[in-house]
Amino acid sequence: MAVDPNILHSKLKTFFGYDAFKGDQEQIIRHLTDGKNAFVLMPTGGGKSLCYQLPALLMEGTAIVISPLIALMKNQVDAIRGFEAGDAGIAHFLNSSLNRAQIAEVQEDLLSGVTKLLYVAPESLTKEENIALLKSIKISFYAVDEAHCISEWGHDFRPEYRRIRSIVEEIQLAPIIALTATATPKVQSDILKNLRIQDAKVFRSSFNRPNLYYEVRDKVEPEKDIIRFIRQNPGKSGIIYCLSRKKVEEIAQMLCINGIKALPYHAGLDAKTRAENQDKFLMEEVDVIVATIAFGMGIDKPDVRFVIHYDIPKSIEGYYQETGRAGRDGMEGQCITYYSYKDIQKLEKFMQGKPVAEQEIGKQLLFETVAYAESSQCRRKLLLNYFGEDYPADNCGACDNCLHPKARFDGREEMSLVIELIEALPERFKLEHLAAILSGVSNAMIKSYKHDKLSLFGAGKDHDMRFWQAVIHQGLILHYLEKDIENYGLISATDLGLEFYLHPTELMLVEDRTFSEGEDDEDEDSAAAVRGGGGADEVLLAMLKDLRKDVARKLKLQPWVIFSDPALEDMTIVYPLTIKELSEKCQGVGEGKARKYGQPFVDLIAKWVEENEIERPDDFVVKSVPSKSGNKVYIIQSIDRKLDLEGIASAKGLDMDALLSEIEAIVATGTRVNLNYYINENLDPDVVQEIYDWFRDEATSDSLAEALAALTPDYEELEIRLVRIKFLCEVAN
């Protein structure tokens, strides 16, 4: 049915309150109302939902909107009913959250022809009773929202999405509009093929969101950094994404006890709590939602001012969609991501045990994320390139890399070497493999192909693998190289790249950033080194270090045993005046250590504050959530009962390494445990004394990494860890 332009604009104003369409919206709606298939690629905030909501209200019959999340359905149904306030039946959703009476109401409105939009989960669409119901009504069209869920290469693959076409054919044929905010060319092809709408007209908007600022931060003390950031942006709405439900709960609690209005959102909460928490966020009763990726798809909150990723996302598509929930009104949107390589290792570990093909896809997507996080290139340019779009400028002025540019170098020789290697190999290989050959890293795969015998093996050994990965990645951005996504990312040279190889010219490449491995509770000094060290009050810091040296000399201990450098730095920032403040506000200072060594330090600080009329900060310290770990309570009680560590580990389903990590975490909080019964029975007394003496006389910090480096292979790791725990409990805590 062709729609008169005047009617279209009139209904836009009546139903949605807008005076004009945005971007391709009008063309998409006309195309759909003409009964034709459409594929819509539009970034979050571009107005995708209007592309099917308005035609549904204009066309005869009911539009079926297939949507993956209950939260999204409820949000959009509420919005439609708000537009069309006279009739609550105009939009419904059908999913597992409804009771029998509610389902009966939906059925009645559908059969009477009142309902113009029916939102269904793909799982609900497959139920026989729902198929029978939909067969009995006239369907205007099908809208497949979040269509990237169809593709195994999409960031949120859902197997049930691949059944949509066969169910549509069983119910009744009607035009299909597929919509997504993120789709690489490979994912786009998958969607069209699976829905069998290769004839669909593709409406592609630019993926550029000029109002968003992108930044990747080193994941060192992220909780403190997040609280500081939120306090610097008072009253602004934001979303914090975490990968696990446990971390969501921890961060939400931590924000609340630090005076920030926050709520959790994840699939482990019951439907009622999820809906209430979402509504409180939408109604601005809370400022921050801490969530797994389950939150935000289709949520109509245009004024989200920041999106923080506490954990690095599993794919660029996921990252782009989640950051896209910021600044949907075109105003300010800050996108902050915390990155450490330990998080990547955890994600890789999660893939183990999955089918090989799924592992390969997951690793490839994760590798793209690592390359993005570690790159020093314009982040906007990298993102748009991933989605097949070129960003014309070299500096976007709205990302950390453009605002703080890194060093550049003429990389013509390096790029030529990469292309020479690619052309010399009879087969194609992935980026990591090529980087390993050039840097001279021999591994099982290199040896199996005999690539360690190549003349180019180690040709770039002056640089490490990360450097060569960065060069290859920039070659992809410049279109000198291309990646075959169908074959797990195999790299080849393009015609443009071969031309460059034959006639090289100046090529300015960017040096990549380096990040810490990640936070380690056992190594406070390394974390301080990454932060750059140094207290807020350098004179006081020098005085505290002198005092520490005097105390250590009198007690015949290493200075770090008294207080670590980060603890002294915290003292120069928060100026603790009591033993209680010292233990609560300075990292690595438990109550026992504060009582044992703290009095002369707080006396010195009090004198300094008084003499210099220093105004102390009221709070910048992150209050921590009390640990509720059942494991920790059980472990402490079991050690008190002098149970074998093997038995404790077995009872909790842990291996010895994991159990020791738990005990080390307990000790790091200042809690003392007595493992002498186990050590005396299982370790040689001379070995215990030698390791203990090393910690007392030679160690420069309580770092486990330092101890292992210094003491292995003379002693077993288990021996070192057990004696370290003994030393920390008897002396340092």
* pLDDT, tens digit (0-9, with 9 covering 90-100), for 303-346: 899 999 999 888 888 898 899 889 988 889 999 999 886 787 67
Domain identity same for 674 and 540:
no
Alpha-helix residue ranges (DSSP H) falling in 283-340 = 316-323
Domain identity same for 307 and 424:
no
Select the more confidently predicted residue: 731 or 475.
475
- Give the C-alpha separation, 596 to 576, whole Å: 16
Q: What pLDDT sits at residue 649?
A: 87
Last residue of a domain, one of 469, 485, 510: 510
Domain identity same for 505 and 535:
no
Instruction: Give which of 695, 688, 675, 674 is closest to 716, Cα–Cα.
Output: 688
pLDDT tens per residue across span 650-695: 888 888 888 998 898 888 766 788 999 999 988 988 899 999 988 8
CB distance 94 to 103 below 8 Å: yes
Q: What pLDDT sits at residue 512?
A: 66
pLDDT tens per residue across span 487-531: 667 899 999 999 999 999 999 887 766 666 554 433 333 333 333
Query: What confidence category does residue 88 fall into, taking pLDDT thresholds of 50, 70 and 90?
Result: low
* pLDDT at residue 299 tops 70: no
Range with lowest mean pLDDT among 201-210, 385-394, 414-423: 385-394
Strands 62-66 and 117-120: parallel
Query: What is the pLDDT averaged over residues 605-627?
Result: 68
CATH of residue 446's domain is 1.10.10.10
Domain identity same for 193 and 240:
no
Query: What confidence category does residue 374 fall into, taking pLDDT thresholds of 50, 70 and 90?
Result: confident
Domain identity same for 493 and 529:
no
Query: What is the pLDDT averaged over residues 259-281?
Result: 88
Residue 38 pairs with which residues in a beta bridge? 177, 201
Alpha-carbon Rg of the chain, whole angstroms? 30
| DSSP letters spanning 153-215 | TSTT--GGGGGHHHHHHHH----EEEEES---HHHHHHHHHHTT-TTPEEEE-----TTEEEE
Q: What pLDDT sits at residue 534?
A: 43
CB distance 410 to 507 below 8 Å: yes
Instruction: Give which of 119, 122, 117, 145 is closest to 39, Cα–Cα.
Output: 145
Last residue of a domain, one of 340, 372, 395: 340
Domain identity same for 46 and 88:
yes
Q: What's the number of CA atoms in the CB half-sphere (13 Å) around residue 612?
A: 13
Query: What is the pLDDT averaged over residues 91-100?
Result: 78
Which two three-digit tokens encode residue 325?
């929930």
The residue type of 400 is D
Establish if 618 belongs to a structural domain: no
pLDDT tens per residue across span 41-87: 987 667 888 899 999 988 999 999 998 765 556 566 666 655 554 45
Please report, rounded to a whole number, the percentage of residues in the chain having pLDDT higher than 70: 87
- Give the C-alpha separation, 317 to 321, whole Å: 6
CATH of residue 81's domain is 3.40.50.300
Instruction: Give which of 633, 456, 489, 532 is closest to 221, Cα–Cα.
Output: 532
Domain identity same for 168 and 27:
yes
Establish if 697 belongs to a structural domain: yes
Q: What pLDDT sits at residue 287?
A: 94
Establish if 280 belongs to a structural domain: yes
* pLDDT at residue 574 tops 70: yes
* pLDDT at residue 227 tops 90: yes
Last residue of a domain, one of 173, 204, 235: 204
The residue type of 470 is A
Range with lowest mean pLDDT among 64-78, 436-450, 614-628: 614-628
CB distance 271 to 241 below 8 Å: no
Contacts for 711 with CB less than 8 Å, ≥ 6 apart: 691, 694, 720
CATH of residue 701's domain is 1.10.10.1390
Q: What pLDDT sits at residue 185?
A: 76
pLDDT tens per residue across span 382-398: 999 888 888 888 889 99
Establish if 61 belongs to a structural domain: yes
Reduce the DSSP state of residue 238 to 3 states and report it: strand
- Give the C-alpha separation, 695 to 733, whole Å: 14
Domain identity same for 197 and 216:
no
- Give the C-alpha separation, 630 to 615, whole Å: 41
Instruction: Give which of 658, 672, 636 is closest to 718, Cα–Cα.
Output: 658
Reduce the DSSP state of residue 91 to 3 states and report it: strand
Query: What is the pLDDT averaged over residues 97-126?
Result: 86
Q: What's the number of CA atoms in the CB half-sphere (13 Å) around residue 146?
A: 26
The residue type of 344 is I
Establish if 22 belongs to a structural domain: yes
Establish if 270 belongs to a structural domain: yes
| pTM attached to this predicted model | 0.56
Domain identity same for 75 and 193:
yes
Q: What pLDDT sits at residue 527?
A: 31
Residue 217 pairs with which residues in a beta bridge? 338
CATH of residue 555's domain is 1.10.150.80
Question: What are the strands of the beta sheet with 38-41, ordered from one edge?
Answer: 91-94, 117-120, 62-66, 139-144, 176-180, 38-41, 201-204
Establish if 401 belongs to a structural domain: no
Q: What is the torsion angle, in degrees rounded to the nearest 10, for the CA atoms of residue 84, residue 86, residue 90 and residue 95? A: 100
The 8 Å CB, 24+ separation contacts for 124-130 are 124/94, 124/95, 124/96, 125/64, 125/66, 125/164, 125/167, 126/160, 126/163, 126/167, 130/94
CB distance 68 to 146 below 8 Å: yes
Q: What pLDDT sits at residue 723?
A: 92
User: Does a cis peptide bond (omega within 30 degrees of 0) precede residue 392?
Assistant: no
Query: What confidence category does residue 536 fall into, taking pLDDT thresholds of 50, 70 and 90?
Result: low
Establish if 377 belongs to a structural domain: no
Contacts for 656 with CB less than 8 Å, ≥ 6 apart: 645, 646, 649, 718
Q: What pLDDT sits at residue 218?
A: 87
Query: What confidence category does residue 617 fall into, taking pLDDT thresholds of 50, 70 and 90?
Result: low
Number of domains in the chain: 5
Question: Which stretch of DSSP H or E encloses residue 490?
Answer: strand 490-493
Domain assignment of residue 130, given as a range: 5-204
Domain identity same for 159 and 234:
no
Instruction: Tell me the pLDDT of the chain averaged across its residues.
Output: 83
Select the more confidently predicted residue: 722 or 297.
722
Domain identity same for 539 and 489:
no
Domain identity same for 241 and 324:
yes
Q: What pLDDT sits at residue 531?
A: 32
Q: What's the number of CA atoms in the CB half-sphere (13 Å) around residue 532?
A: 3
* pLDDT at residue 627 tops 80: no
Select the more confidently predicted residue: 200 or 69.
200
- Give the C-alpha separation, 150 to 159, whole Å: 7
Q: What pLDDT sits at residue 338?
A: 94
